Amino acid sequence: MQQSPVPPETPIYRRIADGLREAILSGELRDGDRLPGENALMAQYGIARATARQALSVLINEGLAVPKRGSGVYVRRFRPIRRHGSRRLSREHWGQGQAIWESDTRGRPYTVDEVQLDRETAEEDVARVLGGPEVWVRRRRYSVDGRPVQLSVSYFPAGLVEGTAIVQEDTGPGGVYARLGDLGHAPAHFTEEVRARMPHPHETVQLDLPAGTPVIAIMRTAYTSAGVPVEVNEMVLDSASYVLQYDFDA
């Protein structure tokens, strides 16, 4: 982000917010540090409580700080991931060999770990969608900025993907969707079902969730242009790390 000189007519609450933001972005204030409270800001700048509150709420609105009930406002350096439902899955994207996650994280470092590949008999809900219970399953966990944010389990019809890179740990440039394209089954349409709920115990552990943090559960089905379902992907997201965005026309 470009830093421009602050014009003198900028309101005081903004100038205070700018100073605190700079301290956060420069690393002077770090994740979990307590920001100066309303009383401290009032004394330091000779301002009203409402102005001090306004300064702090700028940082809260920007996701750089979180209020904790009865305790103060704390630095939160983890910016929510903006997960753009359609843009991230556009054909231009994976067609050019990019990973879908590059769209989500915009340059922030991410890792994929606990990758697990299995051939299985699917549960009824997945088997019904994919037209049969024999599936290959890709399980993995994604972390961003060193923090686990998502568990993801993808199911593919076993007959379709057997012996391909889709059942390898490294699926190659463009990932599984590019490989489905190589097979003549490129995804053309997606349906995402979004739910929110409290996490199951193993999800709390795997996502290292603080108590009282719900998860977002997404079930996506990918269809070819002929309407053939080629993947079911069940994702569980740390709700504190995500904003989902969907754009559509009237």
Binding site residues, a second copy, CB under 8 A = 57-58, 61, 85-86, 89-91, 124-125, 177, 186-198, 212, 214-216, 222, 239-240, 242-250
- Give the sign of the dihedral formed by CA 43, CA 46, CA 49, CA 51: negative
Task: Give the nearer residue to a second copy in terms of CB position, either 113 or 247.
Answer: 247
Task: Give the nearer residue to a second copy in terms of CB position, either 187 or 229.
Answer: 187
**Cα–Cα dist 186/31, whole Å:** 42
CB of 216 to a second copy, least distance (A): 5
CB of 199 to a second copy, least distance (A): 10
The token duo for 95 is 């067609």
CB of 85 to a second copy, least distance (A): 6
CB of 221 to a second copy, least distance (A): 10
The enclosing H or E element of 103 equals: helix 100-105
The token duo for 198 is 């409290």
CB of 146 to a second copy, least distance (A): 22
Task: Give the nearer residue to a second copy in terms of CB position, either 74 or 190.
Answer: 190
Task: Give the nearer residue to a second copy in terms of CB position, either 30 or 197.
Answer: 197
Task: Give the nearer residue to a second copy in terms of CB position, either 111 or 246.
Answer: 246
CB of 36 to a second copy, least distance (A): 21
CB of 207 to a second copy, least distance (A): 13
Contact by Cβ (8 Å): 82, 45: no
What phi, psi does 101 have (nearest 5°)? -65, -25
Contact by Cβ (8 Å): 195, 216: yes
Task: Give the nearer residue to a second copy in terms of CB position, either 36 or 187.
Answer: 187
Which residue matches tokens 């889709």? Answer: 166
Strands (DSSP E) found in 28-109: 65-68, 72-75, 81-84
Task: Give the nearer residue to a second copy in terms of CB position, either 125 or 169.
Answer: 125
**Side-chain half-sphere exposure of 102, counting CA atoms within 13 A:** 10
Strand, coil or helix: 157: strand
Taking the C-alpha atoms of 43, 48, 49 and 55 in order, what is their torsion angle to the nearest 10 degrees? -90
Question: What number of other Cβ atoms are within 10 A of residue 167's Cβ?
Answer: 19
